[in-house]
Structure 1
Amino acid sequence: MRTRRSGFTLVELLVVITIISMLMALLMPAVQSAREAARRNTCMNNQKQLSLAMLNLESAQGRFPGYREYLGNVQDAAGAEISGEDSSGGPIDKYPLNVSWAVRLFPYIEQNDLWGRWNDPKWEDAHSGGPAEDQLRPLVYVKLFGCPSDPADSTAGNPHLAYAVNTGVWDSLYSVISGFTETTADGVFFNRGKFWNTAPTTPRLDYSSDLTSSLDYLTQHDGSQYTLMLAENIQSTVWAYHYGSSASLPGYANPWSPWEAEIGMVWWPESGTSILTPSCAKLSACKDDQLTGSTSAQVWAEHARPSAHHPGVVVVAFCDGHSQTLSTTMEYDVFRHLMTADSKKAKRTYTDFLKGVLDPGSF
């Protein structure tokens, strides 16, 4: 008597394979969505930690740091401030040591070793006979400065920075030409660095200011919970350069600290001697200041805005320490209100004041 073997027929096998494929197709988007949610939560937690560190710094100093901070003039091995020549051969009276807001946060994010190195006024070995600059002021990847959704290189030696601070309006020579002066009402973080002092008859223009903002100022005006502190920007670059490594950047006359478009975000850019008026109602449609995923190689004022790889949203932190997401379709005027510290006084032309008041339900 012949026995029948048990097993799958070809048709049954194909049916099973088809069912498994359909299940995989249904599961993969859910898996990807869960992974993105985890990355977004990590990004939000990073900004939460940075905002709390910033508030601790503000409490200790009585003010928020500048987006660029002057730490003093560099010194030779004997402790004397040095002088030299600039790239065009002109004499330089002193070399200022300027750092970004991110470097200024080192003591408050458990990076005291890095802070000790970057707060050291000694010059690199060509002038002081000391250690090479990569040893004196090391460039490293700080995990808290990165976002998991940002594909930037996270290897050792890359000082990547995924976040930008609220720098109000664009700082440039054109602000002087066009007659507009930035005020405390415009933002939170200002340029408190110093530029080289070229002697004797052709001093460099100094775009730095003595403006500061504080938690007390914010609470007395638009409110810390309604004023942006930090946001993602996929075109933020690094938290520091080594001396001379950024000489090709436009308008760059300052070693070590990146310029405003790399570490800050603005609510109003400028182009040449003209004030740009954003021609849009929604941030996602605005050409010059938009929450998009643009990855242009250039880093200019129009790129100094919140942007992220998270679908439809960008993670931000406010000056009271809380973090959340903002929709990329948010009204542009709402974004302007969130950026300004005192919206009643913030303006970019003599007739353009922010209109209305901020509705907390609008974001």
Structure 2
Amino acid sequence: MKTKSSGFTLVELLVVITIIGILMGLLIPAVNSARETARRNQCSTQIKNLSLAAIQYENAKGELPGYVQSFGQFTGTADPSDPGNTSVAAHMKIGTWAVALLPWLDAQPTYEHWTEDRYPITHSGSSGTTEHDATAAVSGGGAGFHTLAAPNLAIMQCPSNPVSQGEHGKNSYIANNGLCHTTGTTDFANAVNFLDSQDRANGVFNCKYNVVSSGMGPLNHVNEGPRVRLDDFKDGAGNTLLFSENVQALPWFMPGLVNASVLATAAGASDVSFSQENARYIHGMVWHYADPDSGNASFPWNRLGTGAAVPPAAVDSLYRINGGGTSVSEEIFNLQMTSSNAAQLARPSSAHTDGVNAAMADGGTRFIADTIDYRAYQALMTPRGKSSDVPWPEFVHNDEEQ
């Protein structure tokens, strides 16, 4: 008498395996999508906390921080945080808007390392690396900063961003630094000087430390921007950007494309000749004097204080949100910020699909599509659009254009 086999035939087993494979193929994209949604939401929460920290800073200090500013001076003594009590050379403590916000980002110990004169922000070595060296492997500098002054902070890193540069002070977030001032570029043509570019109508975070370079005169503080308060946002706090993302943003503590040696002070000096204009771009976003209708010669362009209208340049693809170039090397995740392209890459970009997270001056957050009209982007960047230096100051912001 024959008995029926209780096992699977080869064909049945192959069918089951095929069905499982199909189900996994259907489920994995959904799981990945859910994970990315969670990462995007976490990023949105982090950037919201940055905006709330900036609002608290303004309430406490009466103005918003600068994209570069001084936090004191180390006079050149032994490093109390070094078990060997090694002596460190005198230097200025020049940092960024991120340093200014540290007390409101649960990073008080790091803030004290920047603001208490007894602690250095550079290490003792003159070359090479030491256990205290926060060497940032980035183009243009970053070497020589003290690890305790440049830790990796979770709140400064978007969980979706794979391109955070540097080993220390990894950073995904940038601030609204207003109008691009770099001279000699095709989109700017020296139409507005550096001081005018920092007008309250043109942006939010400006220079709070002297900038010295060709054409800007001797060491002085006349190039510092005005005090910017929340009351200055005449377009409405909910319509003015404070922070966004950038996959090319350099370490949050770096005050420009510099090494720590740039901050060293001479004997008896209490200042340094800080000549890095690129400080505005490496962890900031700017808008350019450019317009989608730049070819329209009869358009009523901004006169910028001149007798005739000043025609803008076309909007370069790199200026746009998630902007990249036409070659493989210029794809968004292949680009690296250098002194030659910093102004072009100072725009929002992210690893999220179709746009970026952004935080507004009212503490709210938005997801801004990378298809946004460039005039709408300029309007979000300018606290007083109609009195700013945008090419077409008559543009009125409309939420539907995002």
Gaps of 5+ in 2: 79-89, 126-130, 134-144, 263-271, 291-309, 324-331
Distance (whole Å) between structure 2 residues aligned to residue 19 and residue 263 of structure 1: 49
Against the structure 1 CA distance between its residues 24 and 184, is the aligned structure 2 distance closer, same or farther, given a 3 Å change threshold?
same
**Counterparts of residues 108-257 of structure 1 (less than 5 Å):** 108-122=104-118, 137-152=148-163, 158-172=168-182, 178-180=191-193, 181-182=196-197, 183-195=199-211, 203-204=218-219, 208-218=223-233, 221-241=234-254, 244-245=259-260, 254=274
Distance (whole Å) between structure 1 residues aligned to residue 273 and residue 124 of structure 2: 20
Task: Write out per-residue CA displacement over residues 284-340 of structure 1, whole angstroms, 9 at most, x where no aligned residue.
Answer: x83433324353123411100000010112100000000120111111111111000
Shift of 1:108: 1.1
Shift of 1:11: 1.4
Pick which of 139-148 and 2-11 moved more: 2-11
Kindly provide the amino acid, as one letter, of the partner of residue 160 in structure 1: K
Shift of 1:263: 1.0
> What is the root-mean-square deviation of aligned Cα atoms in Å?
3.4
Of 360, 364, 372 in structure 2, the residue corresponding to residue 318 of structure 1 is 360
Q: Say if 2:43 and 2:158, in contact at 8 Å, map to a contact too.
A: yes
Kindly provide the amino acid, as one letter, of the partner of residue 338 in structure 1: L
Of 299, 302, 314 in structure 1, the residue corresponding to residue 344 of structure 2 is 302
Q: Say if 1:233 and 1:305, in contact at 8 Å, map to a contact too.
A: yes
Task: Write out per-residue CA displacement over residues 137-189 of structure 1, whole angstroms, 9 at most, x where no aligned residue.
Answer: 5321000000000114699x610110000001124466895453221100110
**Normalized against structure 2, the TM-score is what?**
0.71
Against the structure 1 CA distance between its residues 6 and 279, is the aligned structure 2 distance closer, same or farther, given a 3 Å change threshold?
same
Shift of 1:39: 0.5
Find the counterpart in structure 1 of residue 298 from structure 2. Answer: none
Find the counterpart in structure 1 of residue 393 from structure 2. Answer: 354
Pick which of 143-152 and 253-262 moved more: 253-262
Find the counterpart in structure 2 of residue 52 from structure 1. Answer: 52
Shift of 1:69: 1.5
Distance (whole Å) between structure 1 residues aligned to residue 44 and residue 101 of structure 2: 18
Shift of 1:51: 0.8
Q: Say if 1:100 and 1:257, in contact at 8 Å, map to a contact too.
A: no
Q: Which secondary structure state, in structure 1, belongs to the residue aligned with residue 179 of structure 2?
A: coil
Shift of 1:253: 6.5
Find the counterpart in structure 1 of residue 281 from structure 2. Answer: 261
Task: Write out per-residue CA displacement over residues 227-286 of structure 1, whole angstroms, 9 at most, x where no aligned residue.
Answer: 000000111010124973587xxxx9749998121110001179xxxx994535xxxx83
Find the counterpart in structure 2 of residue 329 from structure 1. Answer: 371
Shift of 1:71: 2.3
Distance (whole Å) between structure 1 residues aligned to residue 157 and residue 276 of structure 2: 19
Aligned length: 323
Pick which of 228-237 and 257-266 moved more: 257-266
Find the counterpart in structure 1 of residue 9 from structure 2. Answer: 9
Distance (whole Å) between structure 2 residues aligned to residue 125 and residue 279 of structure 1: 45
Shift of 1:206: 6.3
Pick which of 225-234 and 206-215 moved more: 206-215
Q: Say if 2:285 and 2:346, in contact at 8 Å, map to a contact too.
A: yes
Against the structure 1 CA distance between its residues 205 and 177, is the aligned structure 2 distance closer, same or farther, given a 3 Å change threshold?
farther
Q: Say if 2:96 and 2:254, in contact at 8 Å, map to a contact too.
A: no
Distance (whole Å) between structure 2 residues aligned to residue 207 and residue 171 of structure 1: 16
**Normalized against structure 1, the TM-score is what?**
0.78
